[in-house]
A and B are shown apart, each in its own frame.
Chain A
Amino acid sequence: DAGVIQSPRHEVTEMGQEVTLRCKPISGHNSLFWYRQTMMRGLELLIYFNNNVPIDDSGMPEDRFSAKMPNASFSTLKIQPSEPRDSAVYFCATSQWDYGYTFGSGTRLTVV
């Protein structure tokens, strides 16, 4: 089991550019979560999906952020246009029913 796979590991982009973060969940896990972590705000839940359907996106900071899960094996988090305040580590986590989450290694995003 390769665990939750996130790509890229690091991303440096210029302000105004589009950024796409990717996540491949563990096979069979039916829930997927996107978190953002910063020193100031800690770990924040942005959005989560159950069976590929978005359930709660109340944590998405603004319309510049969007997330999709077109199938059970892939999800994306897109920021367009990116801003320096979006710099953070973005984690994807997946779970199967009531069991604990498994987190990916994260994507460290720097917007300059």
Chain B
Amino acid sequence: DAKTTQPTSMDCAEGRAANLPCNHSTISGNEYVYWYRQIHSQGPQYIIHGLKNNETNEMASLIITEDRKSSTLILPHATLRDTAVYYCIVRAAGGTSYGKLTFGQGTILTVHP
């Protein structure tokens, strides 16, 4: 699986946009980028995923660079409840690893009042 690199921690003011970067320079052409978050003591929660194009849903936007070597998760108006660990994951493309998600250490996002 392609390895991802994320900052260990980030801060954001409530109401402002939170931009979480992720590097995945060894990503293969048919591998997806997934984002999950984990709020304290809960199971990880799916946020968004994409292949090449930018994606948006009710939770967030995902911006993937043209060369696909990095991406940014954007929470447009962060709230205190967005404080969590955010995981950027590249999903295995096929073979016995198809569908398998390997979690790294993630980014601890702290939203301040």
Contacts and interface: CB of A to CB of B under 8 A. Distances in A.
Interface stretch (B6-14, B19-27, B39-47, B75-83): B39-47
Interface residues of A, number: 22
Interface string A68-112: 000000000000000000000001010100101111111000000
B112 interface: no
B97 interface: yes
Given A42-B106, A105-B42, 13 more contacts: A31-B99, A45-B103, A48-B99, A50-B99, A91-B43, A93-B44, A95-B99, A98-B99, A100-B36, A100-B49, A102-B46, A103-B43, A104-B43
Interface of B: 32, 34, 36, 41-46, 49, 87, 96-97, 99-106
25 contacts: A31-B99, A42-B103, A42-B105, A42-B106, A43-B44, A43-B87, A43-B103, A45-B100, A45-B101, A45-B103, A48-B99, A48-B100, A50-B99, A56-B97, A91-B44, A93-B43, A98-B32, A98-B99, A100-B36, A101-B44, A101-B46, A103-B43, A105-B43, A106-B41, A106-B43
